[in-house]
Amino acid sequence: MADSSSSGLPDSSTGISSVQDYTRPALSLVQWEEPKKSAAAFFLSLTVLISMATLSVISVVSYLLLTCLCCTITFRVYKAVIQAVQKSDDGHPFK
């Protein structure tokens, strides 16, 4: 097998990632070497594919953004309650 300099790929020692840096984690995910990560990726991609098949792209994007907004607001309220209970002065959690 040829080294990366003769194959035309950039050398990983120069700070530029090679293709192998991306294929190893992908193969690990596809071959279910880490079942928790593979299951999460599988169900996430399955959910996105089913959503795209049944809803419009605008609906899927808007639901994803709405979910993100709800999670952010919930986290902010949780941190405010924790600060009030512990009487700490940590400040805003997103700063």
User: Domain-by-domain residue ranges, the chain?
Assistant: 18-54, 56-95
Please report the pLDDT score of residue 70 as a whole number: 98
Q: How far out from the chain centre does Cα 44 lie?
A: 10
Please report the pLDDT score of residue 41 as a whole number: 92
Helices and strands (H and E) in the chain: how many: 4, 0
**Closest CA relative to residue 40, chosen from 29, 27, 50:** 29
pLDDT in tens, the chain (95 residues): 444 445 555 555 555 567 878 888 888 888 989 899 999 999 999 988 998 899 888 998 899 899 999 999 999 999 888 888 887 777 666 76
Greatest Cα pair distance in the chain: 63
**Measured between alpha carbons, how far is residue 89 from residues 36, 76, 84 in Å?**
37, 14, 9
Stated pTM of the model:
0.51
